[in-house]
């Protein structure tokens, strides 16, 4: 991947993140994070990944709010980048963060269950050490 494309992707990500925090006041948009931007080779289109925390209803409402603000976001990105052709933005739900959170929760539950299985064995071993040896 070219350095210029990487730089533009980072700029697009930063501009959209700042817009979501500071300017776009749509009540439908909940806790959303821009996870990444994939810019086409000819810079005419960009896929923007969004991660949303909340239940499925919150996620749907947030995506609706962002979809309705897409033209404004695209206009602001164009002004900020000051390039000849403003990429056409498309947003998609990036569930990698929520999936990784679920994976961490599963690992924590597994660790907890393993610890509970080992506790009875440790207490049995402690009682045997308390008994005097008949040597």
Specify burial of residue 100 (Cβ count, 10 A radius: 0-12, 13-18, 19+).
exposed
State the pTM of this model. 0.71
Domain positions in the chain are 3-94, 96-126
pLDDT at 134: 53
pLDDT tens digit sequence for 83-133: 888 999 999 998 877 777 888 888 888 888 888 888 766 655 555 555 555
3-94: CATH topology is: GMP Synthetase; Chain A, domain 3 (3.30.300)
Specify burial of residue 3 (Cβ count, 10 A radius: 0-12, 13-18, 19+).
exposed
For residues 31 and 21, the answer to whether their CB atoms sit within 8 Å is no
Is the pLDDT score of 76 beyond 90? yes
Polymer length in residues for the chain: 135
Strand ranges, E, within the chain: 32-39, 45-52, 88-93
pLDDT tens digit sequence for 17-68: 999 999 998 889 888 899 999 999 999 999 999 998 888 899 999 999 999 9
């Amino acid at each position: 991947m070219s350095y210029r494309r990487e730089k533009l992707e980072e700029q697009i990500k930063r501009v959209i993140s700042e817009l979501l925090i500071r300017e776009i006041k749509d009540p439908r948009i909940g806790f959303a994070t821009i996870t990444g931007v994939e810019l086409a080779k000819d810079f005419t289109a960009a896929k923007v990944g969004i991660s949303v925390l909340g239940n499925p209803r919150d996620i749907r409402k947030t995506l609706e709010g962002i979809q309705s603000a897409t033209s404004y976001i695209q206009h602001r990105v164009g002004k900020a980048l000051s390039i000849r052709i403003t990429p056409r933005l498309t947003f998609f739900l990036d569930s990698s963060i929520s999936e990784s959170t679920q994976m961490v929760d599963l690992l924590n539950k597994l660790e907890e269950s393993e610890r509970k299985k080992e506790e009875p064995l440790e207490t049995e071993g402690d009682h045997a050490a308390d008994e005097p040896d008949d040597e």
